[in-house]
Chain A
Amino acid sequence: MRQSIFLELAAQGARLPIGTDMVLREQPQPEAVAEDGQQLGQVVVAAARRYRSPLAIPLMDLTLEKAWILAMLGIAPQERETYQFHQPPGPQALETIRKKLADPLPTRSQATFDAVAYVAGQTDLTPLGMAIGPFSLLTKMMPDPISAIYMAGMGAGPDDEVEVKTALELRTIALEVVLASLQRQIAAGAKAIIVCEPAANITFFSPNQLQAGSDVFERFVMQPARQIKQLLDQHGVQLFLHDCGELMDPMVTQLASLQPAVLSLGSSRRLWEDAQLVPKDVVLFGNLPSKQFYSDELTPPENVQGLIRELTARMRQTGHPFILGSECDVLSVEGCHEKIKGKVELMLNGKAPFQPLHTG
């Protein structure tokens, strides 16, 4: 797929909420759908049709890769969600994972990859993949990743602090499994992949430490991310990099240096200012405060159009390629579904009808 596709979408004034969860939750049995590739694929397609989007965007389910790792290590399904490594997993764990990467996947991961294949094989939509980034995955696997990262940033090594050792070993495992996930999705037909690194932010990395010259962000986020980019480049697949965390400017600059086709940022950022930090061929995406759409107090419906007008006008002034979107996955909230759906609809007002992409 050509990187310029996203530039063309930006030039057309595309509006692309990420909101497959909204459609999934409208199904009579959403959990069953999420475990069936064809049905999940149909939901992904239905979401693209609802949003009049040429891109089929999967669920942003950032639990899949962790569950896959733990399945390979023999952790029982009911323990996977809350399981954490209190000690370094050890070289044996990595070896086990490498041996088992080709084994059958957990049901939900398989369904996710099958859904990509369904879109690629059965529709005129452009199939996108989705994966958690290695750093964010690491943070889900240990009880206190923040302190471990901070100590690593202070110069502590694996022999100094057991938590640093745990973090380093989990970084290796996380990267290995994310790369395997990407390969499976590429094989299924994904033309671009959304890699989500929401934990690469100032909660996990101290701005004081980074300003003092620590390379910890480089070691834990950027180095693995470059390996991801390299893999995607090898297959002609575009990187859609998503980080809705609170970021420092140098973090944005570093993420943009990966040359993703799209850089998706959270609503804490002013995209029109970020346009100065990001190369002109990297499309900025986002960043309507969709996490607040459940609340009319935080985001009254009448303000949504105003936010859209302001954001699009400011981005037009910068001349930077931009696609209006949600700051993150738009999630259905019990009791607020219709309210959220209505606000997403407001994003689509005036949007041109669907046109399939010629991905080349």
Chain B
Amino acid sequence: MADLSALQQAVIKGDRANAVKLTQEAVNAKVSPKEILDQGLVAGMAVVGARFKKNEVFVPEVLIAARAMKEAMGVLEPVLAKAGIKPAHTAVIGTVQGDLHDIGKNLVAMMWKGANFGVIDLGTNVPPEKFVEAAKQHQANVVGLSALLTTTMPAMKKTVEAIKAANLPGVKILVGGAPITQAFANEVGADGFAPDAATAVDVAKKVLAA
């Protein structure tokens, strides 16, 4: 009998081996892949995200939990694909050109994956045209731009301008990173601002619903 609450706990604890084993057991037991995803993996990451917001756990625990989810997804993804189940939203994310920092970007990517977004991670030092190209190619609903350095904020502005100029219907642009503020987000014309990784899911859902 598949134990989705144990799977949820394995994700929360970042126990990769158990997360994979329990996912495989659930798949073998013919539990619906959507149920495994929602009640096991996503539910586990939701708990981690909530604890992160409350400062009960920190970045390392979030990353370890996300790794457990990622490995379990390795088992689940073929089953989801076979059942025709797709992520609720597609997001493209990257750190803007000139900036090599990736912790914040990785955290947001993991939070989004944990909330069942399909995430295309472009990495760091991403030029504006690459964001545009990826948003087109993957028909993204959300594009997330990250910057840690004050010196790369102008690159964020250029990237927002490039995405807007490409006139991609329905694409929402979210910005975040240590030096970024709501005022800066407004100034550059972003659709949303996530002050931290913990709120990135809520902000994305809010702008998508708007």
Contact = CB atoms under 8 A, between A and B. Distances in A.
B61 interface: yes
Given A81-B100, A208-B58, A291-B150, A150 B181 contact: no
Contacts of A147: 60, 63-64, 67
Interface residues of B, number: 23
Main SS class of interface, B: helix
A46 B106 CA distance: 39
B24 interface: no
B166 interface: no
B87 interface: no
B18 interface: no
19 contacts: A81-B125, A144-B63, A146-B63, A151-B64, A203-B59, A204-B59, A206-B58, A206-B61, A208-B57, A209-B60, A294-B153, A295-B179, A295-B181, A295-B183, A297-B181, A297-B183, A333-B151, A333-B153, A333-B154
A291 B178 contact: yes
B179 A292 contact: yes
B155 to A, nearest CB: 9
Interface in B186-201: none
A205 B103 CA distance: 13
B191 to A, nearest CB: 19
Contact of A146 (B57, B59, B124, B178): B59
A22 to B, nearest CB: 12
Interface string B95-115: 000001001001000000000
Contacts of B179: 291-292, 294-295
B154 A298 contact: no
Interface string B169-187: 0000000001101011000
Nearest to A81: B100
A304 B59 CA distance: 31
Given A82-B100, A295-B184, A298-B181, A207 B58 contact: yes
B125 to A, nearest CB: 6
A204 B60 contact: yes
A331 B151 CA distance: 7
B60 A206 contact: yes
Nearest to B182: A297
Nearest to A144: B63
Contacts of A336: 150
Given A82-B125, A146-B103, A294 B58 contact: no
Interface string A205-223: 1111100000000000000
A149 B60 CA distance: 8
Interface in A309-360: 331-336
A11 interface: no
Contacts of B59: 146, 202-204, 206
B181 A146 contact: no
Given A81-B100, A82-B124, A291-B179, A331 B150 contact: yes
A82 B98 CA distance: 11
A146 B102 CA distance: 11
B61 A208 contact: yes
B27 interface: no
Contacts of A206: 57-61
Given A147-B63, A202-B59, A298-B181, 10 more contacts: A82-B100, A149-B60, A202-B58, A203-B58, A209-B60, A295-B184, A331-B150, A332-B151, A333-B150, A335-B154
